[in-house]
Amino acid sequence: MLVDLVILLPVAYLLGSVPFGWVLARLFSHVDVLQEGSKNIGAFNVYRLAGKRLGIWTLAGDLSKGAIPVVVALHILGGPRWQNEAAVGLVALAAFMGHVYSVFLRFRGGKGVATAAGSILAISPWTFLVCTLVYILVICTWGYSSAASLSAAVLLPGAIWVGLHSVPLTLCASVMTIFIFVRHVGNMKRLFSGQEDSFFSWE
């Protein structure tokens, strides 16, 4: 198990570091998402700057790089339940941190929401569904992707605990929530001041 984990962690981080949004936008629209809009490599900034199609592909890529290493970890890691859950949580965090602090972008990156969601989908589809429904409800009601992301992030640790009763995975989800909030500090300031861009204003 230890040898597998030593291999999986850097692989998960490197996969998480792949900046799909930045690459797709540069290749197919010649837009540098790190310099324009919210200066974020995530799907919504790509959608706003480079169009719906590239935004959807970015979302798919960011979800996948969170889900794939976790699925692999779930299949190859063994050991007692709590050790296995801790190892899977570490792999999920490695992919998440790769997206947030990408080695390919000099440790710049995105806000981690989609990559976290991909990891959670692999760990607990029920939790993913609940958080996604909350996200959709908030964005359809108020139109702010940042508010929707933060709402889902707040719910995440509790939903993991209710669904799995796992201390290691709940701690993993809590760390993700903290970093998502840290990465959204600017958005929160704009939300409170009424200056945040609405998703509906991009149409």
Q: Which residue has the higher pLDDT, 177 or 3?
A: 177
Residue 203 is predicted with a pLDDT of: 47
Segments forming the whole domain that contains residue 145: 2-202
Q: Give the whole-angstrom CA distance, residue 69 versus residue 64.
A: 9
Is the pLDDT confidence value at 63 over 50?
yes
Q: Quick one: average pLDDT of 121-147?
A: 94
The tens digit of pLDDT for each residue in 84-102 reads 999 999 999 999 999 999 9
Number of domains in the chain: 1
Cα-based torsion angle of the residue sequence 157, 164, 58, 192 in order, rounded to the nearest 10 degrees? -20
Percent of the chain with pLDDT over 90: 78
For residue 75, pLDDT beyond 50: yes
Amino acid at site 19 = P
Read off the pLDDT of residues 36-58 as tens digits, 9 standing for 90 and up: 887 889 998 999 899 999 999 99
Q: What is the pLDDT of residues 162-203, one digit of tens each?
A: 999 999 999 999 999 999 999 999 999 999 988 887 765 544
How many residues in total does the chain contain? 203
Please give the Cα distance from 132 to 152 (Å, whole number): 7
DSSP 137-192: HHHHHH--HHHHHHHHHHHHHHHHHHHH--HHHHHHHHHHHHHHHHHTHHHHHHHH
The whole-angstrom separation of Cα 146 and Cα 92 is 22
Instruction: Read off the pLDDT of each residue in 131-155 and give the average, rounded to a whole number.
Output: 94
Rg, C-alpha atoms of the chain: 16
4-8: average pLDDT: 90
Residue whose structure tokens are 């984990």: 5
| pTM (two decimals) | 0.93
Band of residue 80 on the pLDDT scale cut at 50, 70, 90: low
pLDDT value at residue 143: 85
Q: What is the predicted pLDDT for the residue at 4?
A: 84
Average pLDDT, the chain: 92
